[in-house]
Chain A
Amino acid sequence: MTRPLPLTVNGRPHSLEDVPDSERLLDTVRWRLGLKGTKEGCRSGDCGACTVLVDGASTLSCLTLTHEVEGSSLTTIEGMSEDPVGRDVQEAFGRAGALQCGYCTPGFVLALVGLLRERGRSASVDELLSDLGGNLCRCTGYLAIVRAVSLLQKEGP
């Protein structure tokens, strides 16, 4: 329990001390690391607002024990502006007006970046949309998000 926990976060190495075994990655990110862009929604793995990337894979940080990801490379919304794909996604969302209250937005951005890493930068819009069922939005009705994904893929690298 008291062994230091190595974690690379948005490219920077950390060694976290005294992280309780029961601590969730969501709380480590938000309160221990002070990175509050990752949001707490349902805390039961159903809304996707807490999505981060663990070694590039989109992950529900509310359902992950922090110790389980020791040694891995974590990416949060704060790291997206340094990531060319992340920036593409943010720009497409901004241009398509794909956000209203903005609470689910970091989760969507991370989920999409994860999908593009996994499926390739030129994944089809349909493939991407079919993999976004894990992100809930209550404000937009999703259509602007669909338009953002279309915009994103038309304007590929």
Chain B
Amino acid sequence: MRSPRPDAREKLEGRTVFGVDLEAPGMLWAALVPSPVAHGRLKSVDLSAARALEGVVAISAADLASLLPGSTGDPDRPVFPSNTVVYRNQPVAAVAAPTLELARAAARAVRVDVEALPTVSDVEEVFPEWPREVPEKSEHIAAHVLAREGDVDEAFRTAETVVRETYRTSSVHQVAIEPHACLADVTEGAWRVRTSTQTPFGTREDVATLLGLPVESVVVDGTWVGGGFGGKGSALLEPYALLLSKASGRPVKLSLRYREEFQLGRTTLPSVVRMETAVSNGRIVARRVRLLLDVGTSLPGRDFTAGYAIAFLLGPYRTPAFEMEGYAVRTNKPPFGAHRAPFAPQCAFVVESHLDHVAREAGLDPVVFRAAHLWKEGDTTPMGQPVGPFGLPTALERARATAARWRADAGPDTGVGVAVGFWSTGTGAGGEARVRLSPGGLEVVQGEREIGSGSVLAGVRAVAARASGLSPQRVTVSYEDTSSAPFDSGVFGSRTTAALGRAVDEAVRALFDDLGRRLGGSGPIRLLEGPGELSVERGAVRATVRELENDSERAGGGIVASGRHYGRSGTIDERKVAAGTFYAYTDFTGAAHAAQVQVDRSTGTVRVLRYSAFQDVGAVIDPATAAAQVEGGVVMGLGTALTEEAMWSEDGRLLNPGLLDYRIPTLGEVPPIAVTFVEGFHGAGPFGAKGLGEPPIIPVAAAVALAVRDATGAHVTELPLSAERVARALKVL
């Protein structure tokens, strides 16, 4: 049953206040002073000309000691660099002024004296070839991971077919239409910031660490968010705005121009992947994966991306022997950051395209080959996690059936691709929620803002409604800032409905236990609606909520109960680890997609005609928002597949920091997308739900690439599948 989203009306009327809309009396506008080079020795930052302008406050590294007495911050992540700049546009100072125009003029007036150093902008500059030995400590390596099982060399030596390929994937940005923005106000030891963030508590933690402040002194009040997609999952602007507020004694507003969104954004960066697979008797006997992942200026020893991402390159497939080795390579770009299902769409593109190619080279049916190795419940992943209930095999069957139907009535120059992906949702990241029952309804009090998907307002509401038996109209979800809300990890990792939802479910259970104690008797407890106030019934006993409330509850708004959910983390089979840290995947969810494309055999232009997504969702909690997540994720995936790439120059400059030159899909490019939910393979979320925010984006580029191959034989090993890359693969040039 569809219930309209509670935020629709105000958003349609333009009344929603986003970060960029914030203002406060006496507010100053801030601007950041960017480093002019991607790598350099910082000799001086001269603020005098900026400070000479009327009403301007300017700060740089030299001011941190006085602004933050006694605190050390994070020595590896200084708010302002003192010695070295490591990426272009890295903020070296910040200014605030009574108008935005004056602030930007003041920022331009700051003199930054930096001696340029050699820049690394590409992983292949660091590793033109795969290294024969692991290099000694290198400033260019943030992490090295290596895991293996079985005798891979022997397996490759004796196999019937061996296929070796190199793939390249591009940097993609989140491109939420809303830029980052915040408004900071530091008063009397309270460091308060209103900000557009997916993770109010995570941002608070981040800010406290970066500024060296006690966590309790930082208050993060999240605003409505105009799209996050991973890009608003940690502190970015808040430290600067807070420091300027401390320095000036005024509220300070900092928002990014869209160009800066691209230049400063932390996101998926490029990769080079070598894939090798050995096959005998129609079965994989060994695999080797070599990953060079650009992690920008991600910190050595603290980079998690390689260890997290690399196993996605094995895909949801069994293999008797494997070796996977990855280097997180540092280049002069902002650090690698989360995108929707970080790096997983790129991995799915690589593994699906590669195994498809392997099958063809071995004379095997590509889809049957992959299906034969696909995980099912009870399998163990290469790094030792058990695969729980897993709907991917079912989803794949259905995708194949769709593909067969489409092929049967296909036109010229068209092809169909079927691809799968899996995800490890972040449902382990914990959270807490409170519920408050009053005569009028049930309120869920929690610490997340709605970022767009509906997972907070509609999803959490739906969980509370279902758990309590109330209709959604009787349930509201309200937000409180970090000073009073129960802790929650954030809206990321496809965890909101599942993990926060579990906390809400627990809270409702606790509420019902409490109501049961108040009512007495035995048996199941029911909440009764009716035209007026709510009542509670247990067998023959019934009372109104009002009657069950005590005086202080009546005054305080209702009967309160709490719940929490902290998932158990999985374990890694350490016997297989030869170097580095790997991350245990948990709460597996799968997706199988079918794409039909038409290819212009001369220009290489790809048009997607039809798309069908089969999602292993566990249980659908709110059908409207669930379908919306899939449609949105698929279209974002089409961008990754066909048009999105951030391009960097040799001197570390982003060449296309704008929405004309970095192309996301427009309305006219979107095919009809059928969405099917495969339910019943239960996950960790309430009622068996699995996270759905990220899985839909994962198989898209793979499905499109395989469809292009099916249509024309063109085998493209780079993302995005630009028209030129397809034309080259078609050998028309």
Q: Do chains A and B touch in the complex (CB under 8 A)?
A: yes
Does B8 lie within 8 Å of A130, measured CB to CB? Answer: no
Does A140 lie within 8 Å of B12, measured CB to CB? Answer: no
Which residue from chain A places its CB closest to the CB of B673 in the assembled complex?
A143
Does A37 lie within 8 Å of B667, measured CB to CB? Answer: no
List residues of A (16-54) whose CB comes within 8 Å of B's CBs: 30, 35-44, 46-47, 49
Q: Which of A39, A93, A135 contacts B667 (CB 8 A)?
A: A135
Nearest CB on A from B168, distance (A): 25
Digitize B621-639: 1 where CB-to-A-CB distance is under 8 Å, 0 elsewhere: 0001000100111111000
Q: Contacting chain B: which of A1-9, A66-74, A98-106, A113-121? A: A98-106
Does A141 lie within 8 Å of B452, measured CB to CB? Answer: no
**Interface residue? B17 (CB, 8 A):** yes
Digitize B168-198: 1 where CB-to-A-CB distance is under 8 Å, 0 elsewhere: 0000001111110000000000000000000
In the bound complex, residues from chain B placing their C-beta under 8 Å from that of A144 are 628, 631
Which residue from chain A places its CB closest to the CB of B20 in the assembled complex?
A40
Does A103 lie within 8 Å of B227, measured CB to CB? Answer: yes
Given contacts A42-B658, A42-B659, A129-B668, contact A94 B177 (CB under 8 A): no
A40 CA to B176 CA, complexed, in Å: 12
Most chain B beta-carbon contacts within 10 A, residue among A30, A105, A136, A138: A138
Does A141 lie within 8 Å of B11, measured CB to CB? Answer: no
**Interface residue? A137 (CB, 8 A):** yes
Does A102 lie within 8 Å of B452, measured CB to CB? Answer: yes
Digitize A80-115: 1 where CB-to-B-CB distance is under 8 Å, 0 elsewhere: 110000000010011101011111111001000000
In the bound complex, residues from chain B placing their C-beta under 8 Å from that of A102 are 7, 10-12, 16, 224, 226, 452
**Interface residue? B666 (CB, 8 A):** yes
In the bound complex, residues from chain A placing their C-beta under 8 Å from that of B406 are none
**Interface residue? A77 (CB, 8 A):** yes
Q: Which of B15, B225, B634, B665 contacts A37 (CB 8 A)?
A: B15
Q: Which of A103, A109, A141 contacts B177 (CB 8 A)?
A: A103
**Interface residue? B408 (CB, 8 A):** no
A49 CA to B14 CA, complexed, in Å: 11
**Interface residue? A139 (CB, 8 A):** yes
A95 CA to B635 CA, complexed, in Å: 21
In the bound complex, residues from chain A placing their C-beta under 8 Å from that of B107 are none
Does A138 lie within 8 Å of B13, measured CB to CB? Answer: no
A59 CA to B659 CA, complexed, in Å: 18
**Interface residue? B660 (CB, 8 A):** yes
Contact-residue bracket for chain A: 35 or more
A77 CA to B10 CA, complexed, in Å: 11
**Interface residue? B5 (CB, 8 A):** yes
In the bound complex, residues from chain B placing their C-beta under 8 Å from that of A138 are 174-177, 227, 229, 632, 636, 664
Which residue from chain B places its CB closest to the CB of A79 in the assembled complex?
B14
In the bound complex, residues from chain A placing their C-beta under 8 Å from that of B14 are 35-38, 76-78, 80, 105-106
In the bound complex, residues from chain B placing their C-beta under 8 Å from that of A103 are 18, 176-178, 226-227, 452
Does B17 lie within 8 Å of A43, measured CB to CB? Answer: no
A129 CA to B9 CA, complexed, in Å: 23
Q: Which of B5, B660, B667 contacts A44 (CB 8 A)?
A: B660
In the bound complex, residues from chain A placing their C-beta under 8 Å from that of B227 are 100-101, 103, 138-139
In the bound complex, residues from chain B placing their C-beta under 8 Å from that of A156 are none
Does A141 lie within 8 Å of B633, measured CB to CB? Answer: yes
A30 CA to B14 CA, complexed, in Å: 12
Nearest CB on A from B490, distance (A): 16
A41 CA to B632 CA, complexed, in Å: 19
Q: Which of B20, B177, B634 contacts A137 (CB 8 A)?
A: B177
**Interface residue? A132 (CB, 8 A):** yes
Nearest CB on B from A94, distance (A): 5
Does B21 lie within 8 Å of A100, measured CB to CB? Answer: no
Which residue from chain A places its CB closest to the CB of B13 in the assembled complex?
A81
Does A141 lie within 8 Å of B659, measured CB to CB? Answer: no
A30 CA to B18 CA, complexed, in Å: 12
A102 CA to B178 CA, complexed, in Å: 10
**Interface residue? B670 (CB, 8 A):** yes
A103 CA to B225 CA, complexed, in Å: 8
In the bound complex, residues from chain A placing their C-beta under 8 Å from that of B658 are 42, 44, 46
Does B667 lie within 8 Å of A145, measured CB to CB? Answer: yes
Which residue from chain A places its CB closest to the CB of B258 in the assembled complex?
A42
A69 CA to B707 CA, complexed, in Å: 49
A104 CA to B659 CA, complexed, in Å: 14
Q: Which of A37, A38, A130, A142 contacts B635 (CB 8 A)?
A: A142
A105 CA to B16 CA, complexed, in Å: 11
Does B451 lie within 8 Å of A97, measured CB to CB? Answer: no
Does B7 lie within 8 Å of A41, measured CB to CB? Answer: no
**Interface residue? A157 (CB, 8 A):** no
A132 CA to B673 CA, complexed, in Å: 19
Does B177 lie within 8 Å of A104, measured CB to CB? Answer: yes
Does B21 lie within 8 Å of A36, measured CB to CB? Answer: yes
In the bound complex, residues from chain A placing their C-beta under 8 Å from that of B179 are 40-41
A49 CA to B176 CA, complexed, in Å: 12
**Interface residue? B391 (CB, 8 A):** no
Nearest CB on A from B504, distance (A): 21
A39 CA to B258 CA, complexed, in Å: 13
Which residue from chain A places its CB closest to the CB of B638 in the assembled complex?
A141
Nearest CB on A from B491, distance (A): 11
Given contacts A78-B14, A100-B453, contact A142 B624 (CB under 8 A): no
List the 7 shortest-distance A-B pairs measured between CB atoms, nearest first. A37-B14, A101-B452, A102-B11, A103-B226, A141-B635, A77-B14, A46-B659
15 CB < 8 A contacts A-B: A36-B17, A38-B14, A42-B659, A43-B257, A46-B660, A94-B4, A94-B8, A97-B4, A99-B8, A101-B227, A129-B668, A132-B667, A135-B667, A141-B633, A142-B665
A-to-B contact residues, CB < 8 Å: 30, 35-44, 46-47, 49, 76-78, 80-81, 90, 93-95, 97, 99-106, 109, 129-130, 132-133, 135-146
